[in-house]
Chains A and B, each alone.
Chain A
Amino acid sequence: MNKRLVFVSALVLIVLSPFVPRLAVAATKPYVFGLLLVGPYNDKGYSQAHYEGGRYVEKTVPGTKMIYIDKVNPSDRPGVTIVQLVDDMVEKGARLVIANSDDMKDGIREAARKHPNIHFVHVSGDDVLTGKAPSNLVNIFGRMEYGKMMAGFAAALTTKTGKIGYLGPLINEETRRLASAAYLGARYAWEKVIKRNPNDLTFQVTWIGFWFNIPGVTADPSQVAKNFYDSGFDVVISGIDTTEAVMVAKQKVNEGKKVWAIPYDYVGACEGGSSVCLGVPYFNWGPGYASLVKKSMSGHWKPEWIWLGPDWKDINNPATSTVGFMVGDALSQEARKALKDFIAGLASGKVQLFKGPLNFQDGRVFLKKGEVATDRQIWYLPMLLQGMKGASSQAK
C-alpha cells in the first residue's frame, strides 16, 4: 500500500470529518443582493463608495440584506472567476448581483446568461447600449464628467505653475471622457475666470494601467504622483480608485513644497489630507442602487442603461444626487466662490463644456462651433482633446 497516499487521505479525512454534518445552508428570508467590489471595501475610493451605497440600500429599503465580496480581481484572488462568485452568491440567496467594475464586463454577462432568473447590474458598462446584454442585466453609471469638471476647475484656480497632472487608471472610453472633462473644467477656469492664455496651461495625463496599484503589473501611482510634483506640477487630479495622490501631496507639503491633490470616487477621500485636498468629486450610489433593488423586488425590472446625474438642486444631497463634489479644506475662499458660480452655471445649462469648437488631440474636429455633444458622443469619447498631453489609445 502506498504510504504517501494513505498519509494524505488520512490527513484530508481527519481535517474534514468533524464538519460534514454541518453542511446545511441556512434559509434566508430577506431580499438578498450581492455586491462584487473590484478593490477593498475600505479603500476610501471607488469600491468603498459602492460598499456604502449597498449599506444605504439596507438602511432605506426594508427587508433587504447585502452580501459582498471585495478585491475581486485576478491579481488579488488568483483563479477566482466572476461566474464562480455569482454562483456562490446565488446559492446564498442573492436575487440581484451588482458588479462594480468595468473589468467584470465579460464575467457578469456570462453569469447573467447562466442565471436568467437573477437580476444583474453592471456598473459603468454599456452592454445594454450595444445589445450584448441579456434582459436580466442593466447598466448604471453616474455622470461623473460634471464632478471632474469641478475638479479641473478647482485645480486651475489653485495651480501656481500652470501645470496640472492627471493620474489616470487605464485607457478606455470612460477614462478618456473623465480626463477630458477635468481638462475642460480646468480650461474654463483658466480662460474665463482668471483670464489667462489657454496655451499657458499644461494638462498632462499619465496612465498607470489599471484602476489601482498592482505591484509589478501597473505603474506605481505613488511614483507617478511624485514625478508630477517633482517636475513642476503642483496639482494632481486623481482618476484612479485609491488615494495615493493625497498621500504623496502630504509628503511633499511636509518637505516644504506647495502642492495640492484632488482624489476621486468617495465622499470621505479627503479625510486625513485636509492640508492638500482641494475637494473630491464622488459617487453616491445609494439612491441609484435603492431604485434598482426596489424595481427588482416589485417586478418592475426592465433592461435599461442608466446614466444618473447630480441633483442640481443640491449636488451633495445623499438621498437624491448620484454625483457630488465635496469641497476640501485646502481650497481658497475665492476659489470656493467661483466654484459655486460654476456649479450654478452647469446646473442652469449656461455653462456647456462639451460644446464646439472642440478638437481631438490629433487636430481632427470633435464638435463644430456651437455643436453640443450628445450623450453617446460623450460616453464613447474616442480620443483625448486638443490641449491635453498623454496617450489616447485611439480606437481604430
Chain B
Amino acid sequence: MRTVFARMGRPLEMGLKTALAGVAEIAASVLVVVAFTTLVLLVAGAPPLDTFAVLVKGSLGSWSKLSHVIKVWIPLTLASCGLLFTFKAGLWNIGVEGQVMMGAVATTLAMRMGGPSPLAGMVTALALVAGMAGGALWALCAGFLKTKAGVHEIFAGLGLNFVSQGLVLWLIFGPWKQPGIASMSGTETFDERLWIPSIEALNLSPAALGMAVAAVIVTAYLLSSTRLGLYLRAVGGNEKAAVLFGLKPHAVMTAAMLCAGGLAGLAGAFQVSGVYHRLIPAISSGYGYLALLVVLLAYYNVWAAPVVAFFFACLNTGAIQLPMLLSLDSSLSGVIQGSMVIAALAVHSVSTRSRRSRG
C-alpha cells in the first residue's frame, strides 16, 4: 500500500507553509461545514446536537447498522471509482445514474435468462459481468455522442438517464412484470440461489465487499501507475496540448467512459443481486448522483473517495432514525450532504484563489 501511496505523484516533501495552509483549509472547511449544516438544521426546526447524535447512533451504533452502511457503501464506492476516470479526463459524467440503472437491467436480464440452475453461482457471476457490460455500453453511448456528434456529455448523460429510467419502468410494467400483476413495485424476486452470497450472521457479503475494495485499488493503480492514467490526466489537463503529444483525446475519453460505465454498471448489478434481489423503479437509489458529490467532496482523490462514500453511507443509513426518534423528515440527510459539499467546495475555491493571488 505504501508504494501505491508513494506513486500517487504528490511530492511528499510538502513545505511547512503549505502544510500549515492545508491544515488551516481543513479547519476552515470543517468549521464552515458544521456551521452551515447547523444553520440548515435550525432553519428546518431540528435540534442540531440531537440530530447529529441520532445520525451517528443510527449508522455506527450496532453491527447490524454498520452492515447496512456497508451495503450502501459498496455501490456508492463503485460508482465513485468509475467517476474518477471520467473526472480525470475532464468529463462530467452525469450519465453515471443511467449507467447504474443499465447495469441493473443487464444483470436482471442475465439472471432471468440463467435462472436458478445448479450452476446458480455461475449465473450470478456472469450476471455481474453483464451488469458491467450494460453500464459500459450505456456510457459508450454518451461517449460517442460527445466525440462523434459533439453533444456535451452533461446533456447526453442527462438525456440518457431519462431514457434508462423510462426503460426500467417499461420493463417492470411490461415484459418483465410479475405474472397476473401489473405493478410499479418491481419484478419478481429472484431465487435465493441467485443472490450474491453473504454471511448471514454478519449480514455481509465478502464477495461484494471484496469487489468494492478491489475497485478502489485497481482504480488507484490504473490512475497513478499506468499509461491510461497518464493519458487521462493529459487529456483532462489540456486537450489541445495532449494532441501535440500525439494523444487521441477522443479515444482516451471513450476509454474513460468505458471504465466509468463498467464500474457504475457493477454498482447497479450489486443493487439487483445484493440489495433488492429484483429490479425496481428506483433501482439506482440515486447513488450515481450521490457519487458525483462524493468525488467532488473527495476532490477527485482516489483514497479520499471511499472515506467520503463511507461518511455519506453513514448519513444515509442514520437518517432513517430521524423520523423514528425526532419526527424529522429523513430527507434532511440529503440537505446535510448537499450543504457539506457546497461548503467544502466554497472553502477550497476561496483558499485556492487566495493562494494564487499570494503566489
- Seen from chain A, the residues whose Cβ lies within 8 Å of a Cβ on chain B are 1-12, 14-16, 18-20, 22-23, 25, 67-71, 73-75, 77-81, 84-85, 87-88, 91-92, 102-103, 106, 114, 170-173, 207, 209-210, 214, 216-218, 382, 391, 393-396
Contact = CB atoms under 8 A, between A and B. Distances in A.
B64 interface: yes
A23 B184 contact: no
A209 to B, nearest CB: 4
From A4, A81, A114, A214, residue with most partner B Cβ within 10 Å: A4
A4 B30 contact: no
Give the 9 A-B CB pairs with smallest separation, nearest first: A395-B180, A170-B183, A78-B285, A79-B285, A171-B182, A4-B304, A393-B182, A7-B26, A209-B184
Interface stretch (B49-57, B124-132, B247-255): B49-57
B182 A2 contact: no
B286 A19 contact: no
B286 A78 contact: yes
Contact of B320 (A22, A68, A88): A88
Contact of B276 (A11, A74, A217): A74
Contacts of B56: 16, 19-20, 23
Given A8-B297, A214-B184, A2 B10 contact: yes
A12 B60 CA distance: 12
Contact of B165 (A7, A11, A173, A216): A216
A4 B301 contact: yes
A2 B5 contact: yes
A128 to B, nearest CB: 18
A79 B308 contact: no
Given A2-B303, A74-B280, A207 B182 contact: yes
Given A67-B324, A210-B184, A87 B68 contact: yes
B8 A78 contact: no
B233 interface: no
B205 interface: no
Contact of B330 (A77, A114, A395): A77
Interface in B124-170: 165, 169
23 contacts: A4-B299, A8-B297, A11-B26, A11-B29, A11-B33, A12-B307, A15-B30, A69-B320, A70-B323, A71-B323, A79-B286, A79-B316, A81-B276, A84-B68, A85-B320, A87-B65, A88-B64, A170-B184, A170-B185, A171-B183, A393-B177, A394-B180, A395-B179
Contacts of B321: 88
Given A74-B282, A81-B276, A23 B182 contact: no
From A3, A20, A92, A393, residue with most partner B Cβ within 10 Å: A3
From B61, B182, B286, residue with most partner A Cβ within 10 Å: B182
Interface in B175-195: 177, 179-186, 189
Nearest to B31: A14
Nearest to B308: A8
B88 interface: no
From A67, A214, A391, A393, residue with most partner B Cβ within 10 Å: A393
A209 B189 contact: no
Nearest to A89: B324
Contacts of A395: 179-180
A391 B179 contact: no
A8 B283 CA distance: 29
Task: Give the contact-size bracket for chain B.
Answer: 35 or more
Nearest to A78: B285
Contacts of B286: 78-79
Contacts of B22: 3, 6-7
A292 B183 CA distance: 29
A396 B180 contact: yes
Nearest to A207: B182
B24 to A, nearest CB: 11
From B60, B185, B308, residue with most partner A Cβ within 10 Å: B185
A5 B52 contact: no
B354 interface: no
B52 A15 contact: yes
Contacts of B180: 172-173, 382, 393-396
B19 to A, nearest CB: 8
Contacts of A69: 320, 323-324
Nearest to B181: A172
A8 B307 contact: yes
A170 B56 CA distance: 38
Given A7-B25, A68-B324, 15 more contacts: A1-B14, A7-B29, A11-B311, A15-B52, A19-B57, A67-B324, A74-B282, A78-B285, A79-B275, A87-B65, A91-B65, A92-B324, A207-B182, A391-B182, A393-B177
A9 B181 contact: no
From B64, B277, B303, residue with most partner A Cβ within 10 Å: B64
Contacts of A88: 58, 64-65, 320-321, 324
B276 A87 contact: no
A9 B185 CA distance: 39
Contacts of B65: 87-88, 91
Contacts of A218: 184
Nearest to A81: B275
B53 A22 contact: yes
From B33, B177, B281, residue with most partner A Cβ within 10 Å: B281
A73 B184 CA distance: 11
Given A2-B8, A19-B56, A79-B275, A91 B25 contact: no
Contacts of B26: 3, 6-7, 10-11
B287 interface: yes
